Structure 1
Amino acid sequence: MNILILEDEIPAYQKLQACLKAYFKDTKTSSVQSNWARTIVDGEKLLKENTYDFILSDIQLLDGLSFDLFDKVKIEAPIIFCSAHDAYLFQAFNTNGIAYILKPYSQNDFNKAINKYESLFKKGDYNSLDSNTINALKTALQQENTTYKKRFVIKKTSGIQLLNATDIALITASGDFCLVIDNLGKRHTISQNLGNIYQQLNPKKFFKINRSEIVNIDFIENIEPHFKNRLLISIKNHKEKVMTSSSTTSGFRKWLES
């Protein structure tokens, strides 16, 4: 089996390699080979020189969108997209039998995507990605990029760091600034109040559960009922549970199903 990985971030590439190794653990190592490209230029060269059983691809590469690569080179192999962009943008992929893994993903998420590829391809239900779908997704991504905050500048004693909005699990108000818990459970400070931050975030991903806390739907692990029409929420990599207010519970339930 020959696999192409299109991913610009080294840690993300390493995670994909680890997931592949775990998935194919019962297969001879020599029978599963992979190539890696971080740019459209390198990806185009590999696709012209090799044949692949399937492709694992991020949306954003170092020199542009992977969609631009798929516009240049006709792709017959199934594509599994691995990205932090909201899954609702990729409904067209699902109708074409193309799997999608939303970052941050688990080994189980990865396994389900590979299983989907294998079952659809064996049944002959897979259709190649066409130009109409690519163009529609490019338009949706452009609209998303101009509407919502993509990253925040974090000032540390060691310098300035960037925190992607998709890596934010929980935001808690603390006076005129906010404490942010990221996907690894680390704490950061953003020098803005909660209201300003909330207005910049994608409402399909983030919800203000009470006067002082905002949660990211991708990091909700468990929800349980609490007294006075409130809900207790468990967040990934965060020990303390957070709670909806009685006035936000109804809206929160509707948001979960939207």
Structure 2
Amino acid sequence: MTRVVIIEDEPPARARLVASLRELDPQLEIVAELGSVAQAVRWFEDHHHQGAPDLVFADVQLSDGLSLEIFAQVQPAAPIVFCTAYDEYMVEALAQNGIAYLLKPYTTTELGDVLRKYRRLEAHFSTRLAALARALGQPRASARRLLARDGDTFVAVPIDEIAYFGVRDGVTELVRRDARRLELDRTLADIEAELVSAGFFRINRQYLAHADAVSGFRSYFKGRLLVELKPAASEDVVVSQPNAARFRSWLEGA
């Protein structure tokens, strides 16, 4: 039986999706219907010990943010079908275990095509696609140094000399502990995956910081946290309310 999680903040759209899925495959088990980023993050954190669902259907734009924020925080080891009225998030969405991007209003036929694609992938790899996603999602060994650009020159920077990474004007920036700033030709998500076991934490979509670079934090409005980095960042560095508990836990255990 295929276990499915649905993330959709519009009740009529959610009801149509549930009805269509049950029509296409009565054996599907819908284990959760979630309506917000915060609710989804809590659900995945509370149920991680039960294993990932087999398939996730997620709208991109939710009432409290983008569903992409969910998968940046909890990273469920399951393939994801994005269902949305907006096409501008396609590339970023498909980088998050995405196997399909359905534009609303989609038909039951299109939904059926997605389920058949999932079944083909499942059969091709001989084990459940969720198990494959878990295998692919295992942390990689941390790099010992990264190549960064200082003008026209490439510099090999040891990981233990890096305070944090940031994104400014679409450019990924490496900030050393001595406050020197260099540029990287890589995305923050790619760097995060490589440094997952090196003491770094994804504070938000713009910042990835080492624990030693966090000099403190204070409460911000609506349950968020304002983080103070060293060397100082060029803008406010804010942890979202859904991510605040994970940030505190990470900092205490780092």
Fold match by TM threshold 0.5:
no
* TM-score (norm. length: structure 2): 0.45
* TM-score (norm. length: structure 1): 0.44
